[in-house]
Amino acid sequence: MNGGAWKKIASGETDAQGRIRSLFPKGERFTKGEYRVIFKTGEYFGKLKQDTFFPEIPVMFRVVDATQHYHIPLLLSQFGYATYRGN
């Protein structure tokens, strides 16, 4: 979040294992602050010809120490999800 408004800094698409290896732009420094990742689950399930109850899942998180590794798993089904800070 920058000055009270969200600013898009990157986008990505999952690989065959369902991961996005790096979502932060190369060459830019990760800094303290609040971030938001929006998982476009409606598009994902649409490609599978399946319906979903949650077409988008926004996940907001706070970075306190930019030197740490941040891993944000999203466990997903058509009708539910869970997320947490991984390691």
Q: What does the angle CA 44 – CA 49 – CA 53 come to, to the nearest 5 degrees?
A: 60
Who has greater pLDDT, 85 or 21? 85
Q: Which tokens is 77 given?
A: 């089904």
Predicted model pTM: 0.84
Domains annotated on the chain, with CATH? 33-83 (2.60.40.180)
Q: What is the pLDDT of residues 30-79, one digit of tens each?
A: 899 999 999 999 999 999 999 999 999 999 999 999 999 889 999 999 99
3-class DSSP state of 26 = coil
